[in-house]
A and B are shown apart, each in its own frame.
Chain A
């Protein structure tokens, strides 16, 4: 069935089975590799995107549920040649080891900053708790998000 999605500001339509989760549409149809398959069970957060500003997993929810929403992926954050402040913080803090969970951590952090531009560490930890990181990079993600908040940017 035809599906209309608005991804990173661009309206796109495609023919896809209505129950297909958004993750596979993003990756396989739109070539957006940022969101990753981690568990397919909404347990690990690697597949998250911003949907109307909220961090949501995409591995289970059918793409049709996102039809009326503004979907933003990690690929859509940079402004032309400029990194988004949260991208800059993650890069400068070298907040990754293997980096497979980085998308989930960054999206979860950004969703928090959109609601609360000056979170404390506990609030950051709570926001990141839904994302699995096996390399043990948690403290760098927390620091990168707190540093992003310090830039007083508008999210």
Chain B
């Protein structure tokens, strides 16, 4: 196969800098291009310039002189394929070939502030903004043609950016603009193209970045190599509370290639000419440094008791004063407790960032999920204006939430301060990432419910004990771990506990009486957002419990769910799952277990139902997760293969959390320091996955990236129960927890 060369790469070299956008900017805004990113093809379609106002088309869609379209988004590419999906949306509504379109991701120098790329919000948020801007732009160009030709706008059509009139009139968007600077506001009420006319949306357009990856081309922030760049490594303390007592800096500096050891309080880093020299010095510095620390007092065997004992008085999310008596008076009642341990993001590539200070101005190249929150938190760290900082987002290794990406960016900037005008590249080592990333919080979930004689759930009580699910930096430098280690440390204020803890805790089922209490807990390990936040634990508990109730009601688990649901889209994913898997015709074999689960992510995003199949080896006292089959309804599907890829990934990742994972620690700190001490699913044990999509072109697109996390955990637990008769309620579900 010849290497495909889409025109959107070819034009990069040829187009000029003449600006014909919808927004007139003084020339002073047109900054010189950054030509330093060696290995990166700099985009020359439109010169870099800041966005001015989210309400202007120019913040999302720009047309330039040579027939190209630049799409801007404040969201980051995290491996979820958002670049391709957003390009499809823009090309569709603008009526241009996708090859004409180029996309720029989060960059405080260019794109709008869209906060964090999180919560499965990118298609719903940025996609909507781009869709509206593109539709407004198309409409604007049609009105221009309509006036020029003095004909009704309704009689015009557009083909690949060319407007065609009924009597053979013809003009491209770019011809119509004719060098004029025009601007317009986004019309939030603009009608989108009728779904039956979609040509780009709904197609599995191939992700072009994957082509670059198979060729080994530059893609990640890790691959950025700036002229004169130096390499840094950071020595984190051996445990959270550790303070640096002494370090033999002289011995470290004497190592070949080492230029500087930076010590500021307990912040310890080394800078060298070559990467490997920095790594050797990092290893040596660990030996040359002495630390003192306090012991961790809440150890794993006491954690779930401590959660209950030391939590704050509960926050009432949903009140119902008579809930307990209602459950007690029910025809059938049940209660159970569920537990999830701390889980790791465990990015394949340790976090990496580059930073450079020039004349008091800071530029950071970062794999962050949010360039603007990074900028305002760096402004706090260095006590400078936000305007003096530019944060450029580049793809990192998949993060699945708040991993080390923001910390490493702040640390690179702290180190670079000692080397004005020199770009510093800092990459974490494996143990930095494993030991210092903020984990997904451990949780304890207690459920009780009552049913009537027909197996309809009448009352449901949920109590959750959890540490916070978000400590993302949002302006306070104390959220960066290393800022807490400086001589003049920033303090960390955990702040208000986030709603992430009770995400998806309210059942979507028809239940007249419900109560939801959240007990916030300040636990022993650092925690923050991990894919799905509390939804993973909550859906694991809720959908395991539903399975238990269905057995109590003596009903098939699928029928039981349907009987207790109203939402037709929820019922539709269950029905399709039954059809695709032959669920109702399955033959019960003694060595096989089937488990079902369902959720609508956040009770507002994608619907997903999943069936897990486990094979049981009773003689060996083990089981194997053989297959996962899911049905997802994410509304209007932008890119079916992209949606399937993300969902497959979420399913496998959740299976790994559910079957294998828990962060180990003892009184001296984290013990899960690498892939041997924190094993995850590898190819041999990976289940087969199949994802079916219900496309609803008439509906709005729904966030899908986290939809699988919770349901898969419960489906596995339910399959293990079906196959072995043991109900495992404390994750991970390991063979030794089963009563053989």
A24-B275, A100-B349 known; A139+B397 contact, CB < 8 A:
no
From A17, A34, A41, A142, contact of B256 by CB (8 A): A17
A125-B683, A128-B683 known; A102+B220 contact, CB < 8 A:
no
A88 to B79, CA, bound (A): 19
CB distance from A122 to the nearest CB of B (A): 8
Residues of B within 8 A of A37 (CB): 222, 349-350, 427
A101 to B210, CA, bound (A): 12
From B3, B649, B680, contact of A132 by CB (8 A): B680
- Per-position binary interface string of chain A over residues 37-67, scored 1 when its CB falls under 8 Å from any chain B CB and 0 otherwise: 1111101101000000000000000000000
Indicate whether A20 reaches chain B with its CB closer than 8 angstroms.
yes
The residue in chain B whose Cβ has the minimal distance to the Cβ of A106 is: B214
The residue in chain B whose Cβ has the minimal distance to the Cβ of A141 is: B683
A43 to B346, CA, bound (A): 13
Residues of B within 8 A of A78 (CB): 3, 215
Residues of B within 8 A of A74 (CB): 214-216
A91-B211, A129-B683 known; A36+B349 contact, CB < 8 A:
yes
A20 to B277, CA, bound (A): 9
Q: Are A33 and B217 in contact (CB under 8 A)?
A: yes
Residues of A within 8 A of B222 (CB): 33, 36-37
Q: Are A73 and B216 in contact (CB under 8 A)?
A: yes
Indicate whether B2 reaches chain A with its CB closer than 8 angstroms.
yes
Indicate whether B420 reaches chain A with its CB closer than 8 angstroms.
no
- Per-position binary interface string of chain B over residues 629-645, scored 1 when its CB falls under 8 Å from any chain A CB and 0 otherwise: 00000000000011001
The residue in chain B whose Cβ has the minimal distance to the Cβ of A105 is: B683
Q: Are B686 and A138 in contact (CB under 8 A)?
A: yes
Q: Are B78 and A98 in contact (CB under 8 A)?
A: yes
CB distance from A137 to the nearest CB of B (A): 6
A39 to B680, CA, bound (A): 14
- Per-position binary interface string of chain B over residues 265-309, scored 1 when its CB falls under 8 Å from any chain A CB and 0 otherwise: 000000000111001000000000000000000000000000000
From B211, B216, B348, B427, contact of A75 by CB (8 A): B216
From B211, B349, B427, B676, contact of A43 by CB (8 A): B676
CB distance from B10 to the nearest CB of A (A): 14
- Per-position binary interface string of chain B over residues 668-686, scored 1 when its CB falls under 8 Å from any chain A CB and 0 otherwise: 0000001110001111101
Q: Which of A1-53 contact B (CB under 8 A)?
A: 17, 20-21, 24, 27-28, 31-34, 36-41, 43-44, 46
A126 to B492, CA, bound (A): 45
- Per-position binary interface string of chain A over residues 126-155, scored 1 when its CB falls under 8 Å from any chain B CB and 0 otherwise: 111111111111111110000000000000
The residue in chain A whose Cβ has the minimal distance to the Cβ of B279 is: A40
Residues of A within 8 A of B522 (CB): none
A102 to B676, CA, bound (A): 21
From B400, B682, B689, contact of A129 by CB (8 A): B682
Residues of A within 8 A of B223 (CB): 33
From B206, B650, B676, contact of A136 by CB (8 A): B650
A74-B214, A136-B650 known; A38+B348 contact, CB < 8 A:
yes
From B651, B656, B684, contact of A126 by CB (8 A): B684
Residues of B within 8 A of A44 (CB): 348, 675
Q: Are B3 and A46 in contact (CB under 8 A)?
A: no
Indicate whether A97 reaches chain B with its CB closer than 8 angstroms.
yes
Main secondary structure of the interface of A (DSSP, over half): loop
Most chain A CB within 10 A, of B256, B395, B682, is at: B682
A79 to B698, CA, bound (A): 45
A39-B675, A129-B683, A141-B683 known; A33+B210 contact, CB < 8 A:
no
The residue in chain B whose Cβ has the minimal distance to the Cβ of A63 is: B276
Q: Are B225 and A31 in contact (CB under 8 A)?
A: yes
Q: Are A83 and B674 in contact (CB under 8 A)?
A: no
Residues of A within 8 A of B564 (CB): none
The residue in chain A whose Cβ has the minimal distance to the Cβ of B208 is: A91
Residues of B within 8 A of A34 (CB): 216
CB distance from A154 to the nearest CB of B (A): 16
Indicate whether A116 reaches chain B with its CB closer than 8 angstroms.
no
A20-B276, A81-B2, A82-B3 known; A94+B430 contact, CB < 8 A:
no
A137 to B1, CA, bound (A): 23
Indicate whether B648 reaches chain A with its CB closer than 8 angstroms.
yes
CB distance from A22 to the nearest CB of B (A): 10
Residues of B within 8 A of A40 (CB): 279, 429-430
A87 to B681, CA, bound (A): 24
Q: Are A137 and B648 in contact (CB under 8 A)?
A: yes
A42 to B48, CA, bound (A): 41
Residues of A within 8 A of B276 (CB): 17, 20-21, 24, 28
Indicate whether A69 reaches chain B with its CB closer than 8 angstroms.
no
Nearest 4 pairs of A and B residues by beta carbon: A136-B652, A98-B79, A34-B216, A98-B398
Residues of A within 8 A of B (CB): 17, 20-21, 24, 27-28, 31-34, 36-41, 43-44, 46, 73-75, 78, 81-83, 85, 87-88, 90-92, 94-103, 106, 124-142
Having A81-B2, A88-B1, A94-B206, one finds 11 other A-B pairs with CB under 8 Å, namely A36-B220, A40-B430, A44-B348, A74-B215, A97-B645, A98-B395, A130-B682, A132-B348, A132-B675, A135-B649, A138-B686
13 of the cross-chain contacts (CB-CB < 8 Å) are A20-B274, A33-B217, A33-B223, A38-B430, A87-B214, A87-B215, A91-B210, A97-B398, A100-B347, A100-B349, A125-B684, A134-B346, A138-B681
Residues of B within 8 A of A (CB): 1-3, 39, 78-81, 204, 206-207, 209-211, 213-220, 222-223, 225, 256, 274-276, 279, 345-350, 395-398, 400, 427, 429-430, 641-642, 645-646, 648-653, 655-656, 674-676, 680-684, 686, 688-689
